[in-house]
Amino acid sequence: MRIESTSGHRSRGGHPSLDAAQLQAVAELFAVLSEGSRLRILQILQDGPLSVGELVERSHLKQANASKQLGILLSAGIIARRQDGNRAIYSIRLPLVFDLCELVCRGMAQQAAERAAALRG
């Protein structure tokens, strides 16, 4: 993932430098993604939109906790909500979260492989 800066300045590594507001926005996104139950909800929603009841059933979260986590994800702009009669249907609004998760998982797998190789060597 490359975080683009509107300032045009670049760090020594050649990556754009972020201003304080941009850094805060990135930190807030990572903070939202730091909770396991929210990641579980996102993983489930990756297959398509679902109602709260369906999310509760698939995630095995309690209704109150699922609703709380959905509210946080919604406020962060990561998911969207639409009404279908008396049901709220949630879907992914910011699909880049899956790119972030893939990068993190790939990095973790690489670190684990390097540690295993070091222990063998």
Residue-wise pLDDT for 68-93, tens only, equals 999 999 999 999 999 999 999 999 99
pLDDT confidence of residue 2? 43
pLDDT confidence of residue 5? 43
Written as six digits, the tokens of 86 are 């008396």
pLDDT confidence of residue 10? 54
Domain range annotation of the chain: 20-94
Taking domain 20-94, whether its CATH number is 3.40.50.10800 is answered by: no
Written as six digits, the tokens of 36 are 């396991």
Return d(Cα 8, Cα 4) in angstroms, integer: 8
Written as six digits, the tokens of 45 are 């929603």
For residue 60, pLDDT beyond 50: yes
- Pairing, β 87-92 against β 50-51: antiparallel
Kindly provide the b/e burial profile for residues 85-103, where b requires at least 16 CB atoms within 10 angstroms of the residue's own CB: eeebbbebeeeebeeeeee
pLDDT confidence of residue 1? 41
Greatest Cα pair distance, the chain, in angstroms, is 61
SS3 5: coil
Task: Give the single-character DSSP code of 84.
Answer: E
CB atoms within 10 A of CB 32: 19
Task: Give the single-character DSSP code of 78.
Answer: S
> How many residues make up the chain in this entry?
121
Q: Which residue would you say has higher pLDDT here, 95 or 104?
A: 95
Per-residue pLDDT tens digits for 3-55: 444 445 555 666 779 999 999 998 999 999 999 999 999 999 999 999 999 99
